[in-house]
A and B are shown apart, each in its own frame.
Chain A
Amino acid sequence: MRFELREVTSPLLLLMTPIAAIAVSLFLCAGFIAVAGAPVMGAYGHLAKGAFGSAFAITETLTRATPLILTGLSAAVAFRARLWNIGAEGQLYLGAIVTAALGAHVEGLPGWLADLVLILSGGLAGMLLLLGPTLLKLKLGVDEVVTTLLLNFMVLLLVSALIEGPLRDPLAFGFPQSAPVSDGAMLPKLVAHARLHAGFIIAVVIALVVATIDGYSVFGFAAQAVGLNIRAARFAGIPIERVLVCVALMSGGLAGIGGALEVIGLKGYVTLDMSPGYGYTGIIVAMLAGLHPLGVVASSIFVAGVFVGADAMGRAYNIPSAIADVIVAVSLLIMLLALLFARYRLRWT
């Protein structure tokens, strides 16, 4: 048995890979559901219904998908250039806290301008946070996996200090949360009585912009070349350092915008449980999407659907909703395997 490189990987195969991976992981996770004592088909039925079965379910799923689209794009953009940004979680929180801090002071501005300022400053915060590790990597060869990962914890501590201290909301009955942004700066809801907000539209538009940059611009071309073969890129005269710095700014900025949208789209303030690991889940989302920006939108909705649906499934059969984490994790593992098969062919000898 050996692996042979495929000469051609057809687009159909690339499209089928994540779908097959998801199908296989649902099949495997059926075992866990059975062990938890629920009928498998019924459980998956509730999961699907809970995620997409009603207008309300769909709005919930899309609400969850919004930050995942941005952290997924953040990972996709960086990973394509082989910049291993594991710090989207920190960039998201920093973007959120900067947005919250400024958001309390934008009362005089018209709503759209306030939104624009807040989104951009959230993005800027994320950019600056990833700039440090990237410069350390380029100038001193410091491994960005370590620096970006560890910065997540530092940012979380910083956010904690801020919302317990200077940014604390005095009207929150002692709960550690930041003072809310002014009402005028909150994004409009898309559907009455649901949490879904305009941030989702913004996220999809951003994904389209990123896809355009990736596919049609000189910068996208350069980033692709750097990621696929850095030696050839350098030989061809592509300015490696400048490209990687721009990639870092884009990646960090996207995650920061994700944090900003969460703040001005949902609650209006920052708490320490604002993100259930959106930054890390973004990596899974990006991998499932094969690092393609538009694929990120689809895989975000899938992953968000699993999380939202698993709650419904858990309620219906009294099984732990942590099964959602298992499904998403297994689908990542299967996807990694499936990517191997998309690139190589197995030959029995």
Chain B
Amino acid sequence: MKVEPDIAIRLQRITKRFGPLLANNGISLVVGRREIVALLGENGAGKTTLMNILFGHYVADEGTVEVFGRHLTPGSTRAAIAAGVGMVHQHFTLAANLTVIENIESGTESFLRPKLARRWSRQRLCGLSSRFGLAVDPDALVGTLSIGERQRVEILKALYREAQVLVLDEPTAVLTPQEASSLFATLRRMAAEGLAIIFISHKLDEVRANADRILVLRAGAIVAERTPATATRDELAELMVGRRVVRPRRDPLPSGIPLLEAQGVSLHDGHQLRLDNATFTVREREILGLVGVSGNGQGALADLVTGLAVPTSGRLTVLGKPILQSDPRWLVAAGVARIPDDRHAVGVVGDMSVWKNAIIERVGTPRFSRCGIIRRNAAMMYTRELVERYDIRGAPLDRRARLLSGGNLQKLILGRNLAAAPRLIIANQPTRGLDEGAVARVHTQLLEAKRRSTGILLITEDLDEVTALADRIMAIYRGRLSPTIPAEIADARGLGLMMAGHWDETSNAV
């Protein structure tokens, strides 16, 4: 076999089916050393599947994987690691109750001389960490690290195992813009040292700024290859989605009376202060955006305003009524629409039927039950209406909701909330994981609701989303809220700094 030393990875005609779904369709690609390649595509385009085949998590139905000229045993993660492939998953695979060094070593510890091996591996870790600018304390418990630091540990773990090819699945999904740019600086250094880097992304600006080559994946096939110099943002967007999609933008409207008011609200959870002295207001006809890196307290705030938690101190008023006890049903009845961040785990009961999920928030109301007996016909009729009006596709009404795709599930959740003409919407990550078309539809619906006098609290990690929709924006960092700034003066850099906790308490409070 001819050896081409500069080719790190060669995938040939990879095809993978999941039941009727063709996830990868004859994909061939080559990645060289010293190269950063971006796999750009929407959710469900097949990016992660392809990388999981490379890493040996999945076995391809057809096609071959070569790493440095040698065939890789299909379906063996061990073989992939031995060949020098390292993967940083979207959901990290670290043990929170072990230290950094224990996590990095795990699976490679020496049985014979653990103490000596530990000293040796510590030296190596420190070497790697300074060589690539990945600062991290080897003795810190992983559970105490920030998300950005955990990602560094994942990368170090791959390097520690002598990875020559590093695959990162949506590496910036959980990072602030500043953390993301420092990540890419590191990746650049690693590429300069001879590694091959592949990162998965659906963010257009990110791939244009950081990749040497961009491969666009759509519906399981590579539809285009571009270099950042030759690709415009609009062209990439169109290639990725397959058609032109225009996200709607906010239109300023005069805001009305306050619907949601928080005055010095705090939430303690055991010994932990999850939300610290939060003060903000959401009014009629306005969208208040809350940005933050996940895990900084937006979950606590969402719990409070969706009726799952009660403030430990401070005053929280929803539609004029102070919240003194956890009562989601009152919120629903009063006209608060709630879109949870995790639609699969919290938004629906996946193993109950579509129609039951459509009425689950209102099952006890006279519309859907009488004397404790469910009015099945009324429920079915209502669900049929929702399906028509919100274009929910993919499952008959009496099949399990689990069968719906993420986008259709979100349509169901939005539908059951918007159909009741809510006065206040709490939208927590309403478009996470949705494809461009679905995102545009959700945005349109939120803006329409605003035009009908609804007030909206939009909790998101997506800066494009918040700048496109929100009238005012605040950030949350370690449980504390920043002052609110008007959307006109918000840009990615400024919001990034706010998400990292840098703000001036005295400035521009609105």
Contacts and interface: CB of A to CB of B under 8 A. Distances in A.
A261 to B, nearest CB: 26
A234 interface: yes
B360 A225 contact: yes
Contacts of B360: 221, 225, 232-233, 236, 238
B414 to A, nearest CB: 15
B350 A229 contact: yes
A232 B349 contact: yes
A217 B306 contact: no
B349 A218 contact: no
A121 interface: no
Contact of B349 (A4, A216, A233, A237): A233
Contact of B59 (A7, A222, A229, A349): A349
Interface in B298-354: 306-308, 327-329, 331-332, 338, 340, 345-352
Nearest to A233: B349
Nearest to B306: A235
A140 interface: no
A8 interface: yes
Contacts of B373: 216-218
A224 interface: yes
A228 interface: yes
B347 A349 contact: no
Interface string A212-232: 000011110110110011011
B361 A7 contact: no
A217 B369 CA distance: 8
B372 A217 contact: yes
A237 B19 contact: no
Given A4-B19, A224-B352, A229 B345 contact: yes
Q: Determine the main DSSP class of A at the interface with B.
A: helix
A231 B327 contact: no
B403 interface: yes
B399 interface: yes
Given A218-B363, A218-B373, A349-B75, A231 B345 contact: yes
Given A8-B399, A228-B351, A236 B361 contact: yes
B194 interface: no
Contact of A235 (B327, B340, B363): B340
B374 interface: yes
A222 B350 CA distance: 14
B157 interface: no
Contacts of B208: none
Contact of A7 (B19, B332, B351): B19
Interface string B251-271: 000000000000000000000
A237 B75 CA distance: 44
B352 A7 contact: no
A219 B307 CA distance: 21
A237 B361 CA distance: 6
A25 to B, nearest CB: 27
Given A218-B369, A218-B374, A225 B349 contact: yes
B399 to A, nearest CB: 7
Residue among B19, B331, B360 facing the most chain A CB atoms (10 A cut-off): B360
Nearest to B327: A237
A137 to B, nearest CB: 19
Contacts of B403: 7-8
Given A7-B403, A218-B363, A225-B352, A235 B374 contact: no
Nearest to A9: B400
B81 to A, nearest CB: 20
B364 interface: yes
B150 interface: no
Given A222-B363, A228-B351, A349-B75, A237 B307 contact: yes
Contacts of B18: 4
B374 A221 contact: yes
B218 interface: no
B423 interface: no
Nearest to A212: B373
Residue among B59, B308, B352, B376 facing the most chain A CB atoms (10 A cut-off): B352
A277 B352 CA distance: 34
B356 interface: yes
A224 B349 CA distance: 9
A273 to B, nearest CB: 41
A31 to B, nearest CB: 36
A242 to B, nearest CB: 12
Contact of B329 (A8, A218, A229, A237): A237
A220 to B, nearest CB: 8
Given A221-B356, A228-B349, A349-B75, A234 B59 contact: no
Contacts of B345: 229, 231-232
Interface string B48-75: 0000000000010000000000000001
Contacts of A236: 328, 360-361
Nearest to A234: B308
Given A221-B374, A235-B338, 6 more contacts: A216-B373, A216-B376, A229-B352, A234-B328, A235-B328, A237-B361
7 closest pairs, A vs B, by CB? A237-B328, A237-B329, A229-B349, A236-B360, A228-B351, A232-B349, A236-B361
Interface of A: 4, 7-8, 216-219, 221-222, 224-225, 228-229, 231-238, 349
22 contacts: A4-B18, A4-B19, A7-B403, A216-B373, A217-B373, A218-B364, A218-B369, A218-B374, A224-B349, A225-B356, A225-B360, A229-B349, A231-B345, A232-B345, A232-B347, A232-B348, A235-B306, A235-B308, A235-B328, A235-B338, A237-B328, A237-B361
